[in-house]
């Protein structure tokens, strides 16, 4: 089926796509266009006990399934996007034109690549479809359950060759690995921590939610026009959370450059945002806490964070502590430079593609 439109165009993923388009090298091989689809799950039951008669999962694919001698699909790769994003984020040149090109590590000629829009995002079912604040209060466990329903039942994939996820998708991988231990041959979580969201990471999300709800235009979610002031405050926080100090200093080296950026970018992002959708996806992490089951993860994993990540600050030491509990994982910390992108380094494959190559090799070629 064809793509379903979405009003929401912001989020870290949109920033990555826009910047990557500007910076992509001339003459570089370009990844092919993906194909959009919709898969409908009937009577989907959320962890709250709420149900939807039809849960739509919008997704994109590249490549063709390959079957082994037993008839099982053995080349499926699941790519999981970040908060506020879409499966389309992986079309960004800094990702696709590095990995999903002829001879690339995720060449569609040899891989069947699946890129879903998570619940509440993109063309998948979300509050702005009509239910508004009556939409089921989904969490990461629900999002992962829907991804599994799509791949296992919708596409007939018993075991994924690889799950790679960025930010929220990174957290989804830890949920996947504990909920479906045999669900993938290899795991590559990028830019997250496998613990309950607390401290600054939860605080900026809570502040964004409060800003939207405090706007009189929100009207308990039954607004007739978007609560622009609340959305602007939320976008301001989101931009700061996703920024990298050295990279931003390089891009905005003067006061005038900063002022011009501040006058243009946050209002532009707020103008395309959808308030209830944002409230839901910012709060979907509220029940996330895979820390109690890390020792149960058995699939080979390479977990990558970066030192200039505001959202997952390295000085907390959480990643190094928890990585010791992962029996099959290699943990990598990318050091900050003026060329890295803070939290958004997760989508710039040049910084970690060698680690992906090594993971694919040690997990079976």
| Closest by CA position to 312, among listed 161, 140, 159, 197 | 197
Q: Residue 265 pLDDT > 90, yes or no? A: yes
Instruction: Report d(CA 280, CA 155) in Å as an integer.
Output: 27
What tokens appear for 218 in the block? 């929100």
Residue 365 pLDDT level (bands cut at 50, 70, 90): low
Rounded to whole angstroms, how far apart are CA atoms 239 and 357?
31
For the chain, where do the domains classified as CATH 1.10.1740.110 start and end?
Answer: 200-282
- Asked whether the predicted pLDDT for residue 27 surpasses 60, the reply is no
pLDDT in tens, 45-62: 999 999 999 999 999 999
Distances in whole angstroms, Cα of residue 107 to Cα of each of 33, 75, 303, 346: 12, 11, 22, 19
Q: What is the pLDDT of residue 32?
A: 79
Neighbour tally for 110: CB within 10 Å: 14
Which of 2.40.160.20, 3.30.365.10, 3.40.50.300, 1.10.1740.110 is the CATH number of 200-282? 1.10.1740.110
Residue 8: its pLDDT value, please?
A: 43
Mean pLDDT confidence for 68-89: 97
More confident residue, 219 or 4: 219
Q: Crossing angle of helices 228-242/199-214, nearest 10°?
A: 160
pTM over the 0.85 mark: yes
Sign of the dihedral through C-alpha 357, 360, 364, 365: negative
For the segment 175-193, the average pLDDT, to the nearest whole number, is 98
Mean pLDDT of the chain: 92
Q: List all residues 6 or more positions away from 134 whose beta carbon is below 8 Å from its beta carbon.
A: none
Contact 102, 29 (CB under 8 A): yes
State the DSSP code for 159: S
DSSP-derived secondary structure letter, 149: I
Edge-to-edge strands, sheet with 301-306: 35-45, 51-62, 112-116, 76-80, 162-166, 187-190, 301-306, 329-334
CB 87 within 8 A of CB 116: yes
pLDDT over 70 percentage in the chain:
91
> pLDDT at residue 192 above 90?
yes
Query: How confident is the model at residue 17, as a pLDDT?
Result: 42
For the chain, how big is the Rg over CA atoms in Å? 19
Residue found under tokens 């709250």:
48
pLDDT band for 148, please (50, 70, 90 cuts).
very high
pLDDT-above-90 percentage for the chain: 89
Residues of the chain with CATH 3.40.50.1820: 11-194+296-362
pLDDT at 213: 98
* Contact (Cβ atoms closer than 8 angstroms) between residue 83 and residue 5: no
Q: Does residue 332 carry a pLDDT above 90?
A: yes
11-194+296-362 has which fold? Answer: Rossmann fold (3.40.50)
Burial 275-304 (b: 16+ CB within 10 A, else e): bbbbbbbbbbbebbbbeebbeebebbbbbb
Candidate from 24-28, 68-72, 347-351 with smallest mean pLDDT? 24-28
Which pLDDT does position 11 carry in this prediction? 53
Nearest-angstrom CA–CA distance, 263 and 222: 29
């Amino acid at each position: 089926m064809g793509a379903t439109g979405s009003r929401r165009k912001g989020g870290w993923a949109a920033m990555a796509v826009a910047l990557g388009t500007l910076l992509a090298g001339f003459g570089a091989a370009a990844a092919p266009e993906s194909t959009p689809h919709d898969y409908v799950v009937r009577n989907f039951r959320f962890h709250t006990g709420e149900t939807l008669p039809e849960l739509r999962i919008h997704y994109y694919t590249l490549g063709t399934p390959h079957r082994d001698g037993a008839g099982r699909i053995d080349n499926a790769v699941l790519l999981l996007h970040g908060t506020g994003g879409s499966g389309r984020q992986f079309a960004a040149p800094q990702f696709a034109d590095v990995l999903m090109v002829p001879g690339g590590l995720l060449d569609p000629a040899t891989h069947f690549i699946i890129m879903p829009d998570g619940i509440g995002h993109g063309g998948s079912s979300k509050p702005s479809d009509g239910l508004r604040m009556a939409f089921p209060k989904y969490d990461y466990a629900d999002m992962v359950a829907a991804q599994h329903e799509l791949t296992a039942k919708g596409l007939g994939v018993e075991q994924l060759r690889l799950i790679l996820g960025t930010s929220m998708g990174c957290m989804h991988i830890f949920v996947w690995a504990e909920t479906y231990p045999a669900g993938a041959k290899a795991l590559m979580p990028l830019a997250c921590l496998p613990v309950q969201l607390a401290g600054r990471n939860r605080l900026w999300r809570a502040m964004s939610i409060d800003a939207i709800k405090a706007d009189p235009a929100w009207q308990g979610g039954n607004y007739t026009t978007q609560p622009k002031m609340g959305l602007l405050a939320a976008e301001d926080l989101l931009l700061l959370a996703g920024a990298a100090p050295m990279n931003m200093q390089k891009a905005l080296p003067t006061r005038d450059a900063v002022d011009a950026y501040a006058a243009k970018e946050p209002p532009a992002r707020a103008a395309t945002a959808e308030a209830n959708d944002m409230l839901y996806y910012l709060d979907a992490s509220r029940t996330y806490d895979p820390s109690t089951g890390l020792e149960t993860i058995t699939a080979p994993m390479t977990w990558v964070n970066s030192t200039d990540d505001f959202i997952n600050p390295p000085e907390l030491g959480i990643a190094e502590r928890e990585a010791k509990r992962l029996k099959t994982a290699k943990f990598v910390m990318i050091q900050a430079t003026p060329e890295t992108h803070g939290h958004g380094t997760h989508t710039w494959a040049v910084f970690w593609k060698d680690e992906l190559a090594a993971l694919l090799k040690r997990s079976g070629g």
